[in-house]
Amino acid sequence: MIPWTEKYRPKRVSEVVGNKEAVESFLSWAKQWSAGKPSKKAALLYGPAGVGKTSLVLAYANENGLDVVEVNASDFRTAEKVEQIVGLASQQATITGLRKRIILVDEVDGLAGKEDVGGVSALLKVITNTRVPIVLVANNPWDQRLAGLREKAQLIEFKRIHKATVVSHLKKICAAEGLKCSDEVLKEIADRSNGDLRSAINDLQAIAATGTISRETLNVLGYRLRDREIFSALAAAFNAKSVRDGRLALEGLDMDLQSFYQWVFDNTPEQISDIDALAEALERLARADMHLQRTTRLQRWGLMKYVTPLITTGVAAAKHKAPTKFAKFSFPSKIRFMSNTRNDREMRERIATKIAAKCHLSTSKAWREILPFIAFIFSHNGAKARGMAKFFDFDKSEVSYLSSGLKSSKK
Ligand SMILES: Nc1ncnc2c1ncn2[C@@H]1O[C@H](COP(=O)(O)OP(=O)(O)O)[C@@H](O)[C@H]1O
Ligand SMILES: [Mg+2]
């Protein structure tokens, strides 16, 4: 399954919707470069996520036959690395010398948060000496530590995509996919995306995957928004063919790496049926787990960067070694177990405390000796239950918990 955000990523600059001003100013900057006289050697594209910053650069490169060297600033732990990677790319000619090149440095704002501030100055130096256009991308470029970069670069601001533009873009995708989809639903999706076209397209794909695109599906899916996001992230992770794919799989997912690890871990045995491939995948997950534990225990945040490739591309590579069958993703049992029992435990605790207060007992005694009777009354005699609820000061959720009959009453 290829994510629609990738499938419909603009191939040409003219396919980048919205942000006309930004596109224009990017093109005029790029034109200066191709004429050999750029007034600024770098451009800094900034603005919210999912509005086409990366897409514009890739489309331009594609249309003009440029090779893109794409790097992520969060991978640079040291100034040295910046020089090694970007510096080298900015000087070297391509092997054949025929193709030109453009450098795309994503997540530049990540450099500002680093304890090692050398990264920014190294990047500045690279920009001063570059023979190749360098595009920096950031969500928020206003950190004090990025001041130097702002000065050196042509600033190009991207804004959220207008709702009407989002709707018409979604319509085009529906048409291409042969889907019927009412305006009302598309508007709702656009509304929720808040001008983030990537998330709008992801939502559309998730909704389409349920088979019917209607108001109702939308309502049903509404409160499961996070689940949908995670399922499409999982699909992308298990199909990642490059480190970049792996990173893209997690883009825009509002979940910490530890939880995502749990999702991947629990789904791996389902997804990989070949025993050798499975062993290999688990080996990588074990290594990722080690890095995760060390990251927090030793406060070595730099280790974090090894986790994503291992749990996405690493697992996917193992999976692709053997023929695969289609398997659905499922909710991690550990997470489900924890949240189920957490609710249960908290509920018991609250109820027992209230009983204990009224009956002058310890909470554990209240739970063991009084509660079974109360629960029996609640599930058999609504009228009595109402009176008792008042007496014990139970709230609605507690009443319905008691009325449902207790699943387990251990304490
Ligand atoms: N302006 C746009 N025009 C067309 N597609 C877009 C646009 N913005 C985002 N998209 C879609 O969303 C995906 C992610 O966009 P991207 O360019 O990576 O956003 P950004 O770099 O601003 O976070 C793209 O692959 C594309 O499918
Ligand atoms: Mg991007």
CA of 190 to the centre of ligand 2 (A): 19
Q: Residue 237: is its pLDDT beyond 80?
A: yes
Cβ atoms of 354 and 370 within 8 Å: the answer is no
Model confidence band, residue 410 (pLDDT cutoffs 50, 70, 90): very low
CA of 187 to the centre of ligand 1 (A): 18
Model confidence over 287-344: pLDDT tens digits? 999 998 888 788 777 788 899 999 999 999 999 888 776 677 776 665 555 555 666 7
Q: Is the dihedral of CA 273, 279, 280, 282 positive or negative?
A: positive
Model confidence over 74-109: pLDDT tens digits? 766 666 777 777 887 888 665 556 678 899 998 888
d(CA 58, CA 69): 10
CA nearest ligand 1 atom 6, residue: 52
How many domains are there within the chain? Answer: 4
Distance of CA 231 to the CA centre of its chain: 11
Tokens found for residue 55: 């897409």
d(CA 393, CA 400): 13
Whether 398 maps to a domain, the answer reads yes
Whether residues 300 and 347 fall in one domain: no
Of ligand 1's listed atoms, the one at least distance from the Cα of 158 is 22
Whether residues 114 and 199 fall in one domain: no
Model confidence over 142-188: pLDDT tens digits? 888 889 999 999 999 999 999 999 999 999 999 999 988 888 889 98
Length of the chain: 411
| 138 φ/ψ angles, rounded to the nearest 5 degrees | -150, 150
What CATH number does residue 212 fall under? 1.10.8.60
Whether residues 70 and 9 fall in one domain: yes
Site of tokens 């800094």: 44
Tokens found for residue 52: 């086409």
Whether residues 12 and 153 fall in one domain: yes
Domain end (from 157, 175, 206) = 157
Whether residues 14 and 107 fall in one domain: yes
Tell me which residue range forms the domain holding 314.
Answer: 252-319
d(CA 100, CA 169): 31
Whether residues 194 and 85 fall in one domain: no
Whether residues 312 and 193 fall in one domain: no
Q: Which ligand is nearest to the CA of 48?
A: 1
| 22 φ/ψ angles, rounded to the nearest 5 degrees | -60, -45
Question: Is 8 close to ligand 1, i.e. is its CB under 6 Å away?
Answer: yes
Q: Which ligand is nearest to the CA of 72?
A: 2
Cβ atoms of 46 and 156 within 8 Å: the answer is yes
DSSP 115: S
Whether 208 maps to a domain, the answer reads yes
- Of 166, 197, 244, 250, the one to substitute when testing ligand 1's pocket (max ligand atoms within 8 A of C-beta) is 197
CA of 50 to the centre of ligand 1 (A): 5
Question: Is 16 close to ligand 1, i.e. is its CB under 6 Å away?
Answer: yes
- Which residue from 399, 407, 404, 398 is spatially nearest to 346, judged by alpha carbons? 398
Whether residues 123 and 200 fall in one domain: no
Domain end (from 157, 175, 198) = 157
Radius of gyration of the chain (CA): 27
**pLDDT at residue 221, rounded to an integer:** 52
Cβ atoms of 12 and 60 within 8 Å: the answer is no
Whole-structure pTM value: 0.59
